[in-house]
Structure 1
């Protein structure tokens, strides 16, 4: 895949989820997170610290929470990328109708609060 330099390039490269990715971005822009492109994906940070990123794959799209292990996840909807994953969690969707905007925004706001509190996994 070619290196993506903008949100427009990212959504065009993932056209099957473009509308959904733009909807998630719309939610993210209601917060105080800064938007940029890192690792060829839209990434959102607070005071230079990564909070979350958008991801799109062949069969699904997601929000990656960099310190998602600290989210309460009362709805049990977060997934690990792999069994060995320590902090990273994803909120996965198959189509735009899967996006419950108030619920997604509550997870985003909790991730922001956790970042403000400085919660992070200490390297072992």
Structure 2
């Protein structure tokens, strides 16, 4: 195993100690970003596909991280990240890769729990109604 890893690194990267982000990648669509870590870490990456150039593309690992706080004042605070975005099958969606950079930069986004926070951060609002209700609008 060690000999195989040594051969791989020397063949593809010309050295035994390339920066981890040069070897480990998170790729979705046209986005290709550096990764770090391994299988027993927060933000675990547990399976990789070897690319022709020797880089390893994340195939399996943590797909959703969320941290929640319940302060003494009774409020709720939370942050999260989804490394592959929340629209993994819709390549034209702005959410196909929009959280990848957050993930690779070890950042999180706020989770909105309260109506006022949701409305204040909304990009767009929809009114949902049944077809019968729409006829009476």
Instruction: Indicate the structure (1 or 2) with the bigger Cα radius of gyration.
Output: 2
Q: Relative contact order, CA 8 A, sep 6+: which one is greater?
A: 1
TM-score (norm 1): 0.29
Higher percent of residues as helix = 1
